[in-house]
Structure 1
C-alpha cells in the first residue's frame, strides 16, 4: 500500500477532535515557515558598483529602508569636499558664539525642540536635573542657546516674559541655573558710524557687539549684504534697547532698528514682534519650502542625528531626510540662493549645495544629473537637478539636508522663514512706529 494511503487510513481511525487539532497545528507550522524572511538578497535591481556593498553588509548589519543609504555610509559634513568658501564677514562672525533661537509653538515640548535642532537629549536631561522648570514651556516663549564646535550646549535661556529669563550656563562644575529679573528701565541707545574698512570692524568701533553685528548681517542678508556691498564712506545709525538701573546700563541690549546709507542707496529695517521689516512693512526674510519636490514622496529615512548602527552600537547619524523618488524626478531649489557646490563624491554621488543668505544652506545628494553650476543664482522652485541613485545608496532616492547656522536641523519640523508682511490689522501701527524710528536715526546719522 502506498504511504499516503496508509497515512489517510490512520487519520480516519483518530477521534474527530484529534484530527482537528492535528490539522490546526500543521497549518500553523506551514504559516510560520512561509513567513520566515529569506536571508538572500536579489542583486538584480542594484548597479554593478553597489553589488559588492550589499553582499558584504547584508549579513552584518540591518540596512536602512530601501531607497536610502546603508547605515554605515555616513557622509561627514566636515569632509573638505563639503566645505563652503567663506568671505571676510563670514570668517569674522565665525569667531562669535552663534545664538540659535526658537519661539515655542502649540503642542511643542522641550524634547521635540531638542530633536528638531539635533541637540543632545542627554544634555536636556542634565538641564532638567539642574532645574525641572525648564520643561514648563508656554506658546510664544522664546528659547535661545549657543553650542560649541562639538555640538555641546554652552548656554540655554528661556525668555519667560518681558522681565523674566531663565538661564543655564555651562561652567567647569557643570550647568548652573539663574533666574534673571529685569528691574530697570528699557531705553533706546543710538550707535553711529562710518565704514572705514570692513563693516564688522567699523560696527565694533561704533559700539555694537559681535552678536548685534551678527543679528544685522542675518536679518538684512537679502536686502543688503554687508560683506560684499559695504563701501568705504557708507554711514549707518543703529538703535539698541538697553536696560538701565540708576542710570547705568546693565546689558548690551537688542537691536531695534538700523538706517544705512550707501551712496544714494537707503536701507531701513526695524524689529517688530521678533521679526524685521522694511519701511513699508515688508518682511526682510526670504521663504524656504519644506520639501524640494513638486509633490510628496515616501520618506524612506527620516532625520535622525542619534541613529545607531544595529551591530556596533556606534552613532551613525542621518542628518537629512530621504525621499523615495524614482530616478529622474525633478529636484527643486528650496529657496532663493547661490550654488556654492556642484560636484561628485564617493558616498554622496552627484550633489549640490545652495547657500541661502548667511543663515541657511541646503544639500541635495545622490543625484542622477546636476543642472546648475557653482556661482549660479537660483530661485525657489527652480529645477536644479534630477534625482538618482549615485554614490552609496540602496535605491533611487533624494537625500535632502537643511543647514541652519552651520548645523543640520530637521527640515520637516523646524520653523522655516516666511516672507509675510506685517499683518494688515497691525500695519497702521507699524508704519507709524517705523516712520518715527527712521526720523530719529536720520537725525543722529553722521554727516
Structure 2
C-alpha cells in the first residue's frame, strides 16, 4: 500500500510512476479525500475541546446556582459531542474510501525498470548454458515415453477436472527429489531458514501480500472463509505482520516447500497441455525481510539463489527484468528466470524474484527499529520462486530425454533417487553403471 504522506509531498511523481504501469493518475482524488478526512478530524478535535471547556464552565455555573447557564452549557456540550461523533464518522468513511483506493493501486516501479506495455518489452539480463543439440526431434514432457506412464492426466481429470495431474512411480520420485534438492541447497548453501506453514489463511494474510482485494478471483476460498494460498509467499511474508523487529534480526531469509493453489482466472485455453499451468502445484519459495537500504542488493542475491538451482541441474536458462507493463501488482522490480524447454523450443518462466519495497510491509504493519531507541520504520520485503517444482520437472524431462524415450537423471539428483542414473522408456529407474550420458548426442 502507498504512503499518503508521500503522495502529498509529490503528487506529480506518484501519478507519473502509475502512468509508467499503464494506470491513470489518482493523486488528485486521493488528496481531496485526504483533505476532507483531515478537515473532519480537525473539526472533531475542536468540538471536543469546546465541549471540554463548556463542561468546566457548566460545573462552575452549577456551583454558583446559575441553573439557566448550566442548562445552556449542558445543551452546548451535548451539541458539540454530537458534532464530534458526526465528524469522526465522516473521517472514518473518508479513511475507508482512501484505503479502498490505495489497496487496489499497484506498487511503483523502480527508476531502473524498463518501460513497456507487455512481455514483449522485457529486457534480457544474461543467459547461462547452451541449449543441447539433439539428433532427433525433442518431445514435450508429456510425450516423452519415460515420463508418460508417470503423468496421469486422465485419472486427475476424473478426480478433479482439467489442469490437475496424478504423478506415479519415477515421476513422483523425481518431483520429490527436486523439491528436496532445492530445500537442501537453499538451507545448506544459501543460508535460508527452512519453514513450514499452513496452506489455509485468513483475509488479513491475503490482504497483506496484495492478493486481496484486487485479485480475489485468482484464488480459491473455502466455504468457511479461509483462502488456499497461491504461494507460500503469503504465509512466509506474513510471519512478520504486526511485528516490530530489531535491526539485528535483519535480514530474515526463509524458504518453504508448499502446495500452491490458483484458479488461473482469465487463462482459459492457455498452456493447457501437460502440467505447465496447473490449479494445484508445488513450489519452493524464498522470502527475505530486509532493511530498506539492503533490499535492492538482496534481490540480486535471491536471483542468484534461484539461478544456482538450474546451474546445478545443468539446465540452460536466461534471466530477464520485467518491464513496467508486465510486473506483478506488488513488485517494484522483478527478475524472471526462464528455463530452456527443448520440446517447446523456447524459454519458459520457472522463477520470478521481486523486491516489493515497503508496499507489503505497510499493508501488514511490519516494522523494525534501526536502533533500540529509534522510531519504528517499515521493513522491505522480497519473494522469489526457488523454484517451481513442477516446471523444473518439465525442464529436466525435456532437457535430459534420450532418443529411445529414456530420461537421464541429473548428477545432483541421483543421491535423492536411490543412485538411479536413468528413467527407462518404460518409466523404471535404472541404476548407476547401466546408463550412459547421451546429452550431446
TM-score, structure 1 normalization: 0.28
TM-score, structure 2 normalization: 0.28
Structure of higher RCO (CA pairs closer than 8 Å, 6+ residues apart): 2
The structure in which a higher percent of residues are helix is: 2
The structure in which a higher percent of residues are strand is: 1
